Structure 1
Amino acid sequence: MNEEPDQELDALIRAIPEGWTRVQIAGHVWGITRTTRAGGRVISFDAGRLGDKEQLGANIWMLSEGSVLKPCEVPEEDVMQVLRDAAATFALPD
């Protein structure tokens, strides 16, 4: 697990809206939830593929040097890929 602050992670998690959102990733519909806690110092990210059992989650610690990812029982790269895909959908014009 990477303990170094991650600038890419910081940008990705800030692109995800607070609360629950339905998003299309690679032809599948996902429900993603971003919850900010501890005065903005911790962000929980949960994602589940709707109609399927695939789920993942992580906590992101917001440090002064940048964000640190703490995945919950899933590989860090899996969380990062879902974050990249989800953040890209929010960057698309309506």
Structure 2
Amino acid sequence: MEDEYNNLINKIPPGTSKARAFGRTYSVSRSDFNAGNSIKVYAEELGGTDFISFNYYITQSATLLKPCEMPQDKVMGFLRELELIADKD
């Protein structure tokens, strides 16, 4: 599961991006702290009420996915569905 967390979370670039998941569009913000060992992700549905929020910690012995007031299944479903939307110049 650790590798899956890393792969899914690292699809999200630091800063703010647009993405699609579950047929909806989200604004996704990723902030990295502690030399990339702590990651905060917050996604808000554009024009809707859904949101996703979690912290991800990388320690010497493990990785920890900590959803913020929502089930871990919701976070994992979002990460698996996530498709970034490229900005058009």
- TM bin, normalised by shorter chain, reads 0.7 to 0.9
Q: Would you say how many aligned residue pairs link Structure 1 and Structure 2?
A: 84
Trace 1:1-94 onto structure 2 (pairs within 5 A): 6-86=2-82, 89-90=83-84
**TM-score when normalising by structure 2:** 0.83
Cα distance change of structure 1 residues 19 and 36 upon mapping to structure 2, 3 Å threshold: same
Native 8 Å contact 1:10 1:66 kept in 2: no
% identical equivalent positions: 29
**TM-score when normalising by structure 1:** 0.79
For 1:69 and 1:11, how far apart are their aligned partners in 2? 13
Native 8 Å contact 1:42 1:62 kept in 2: yes
Native 8 Å contact 1:7 1:67 kept in 2: no
Structure 1 gap segments, 5+ residues each: none
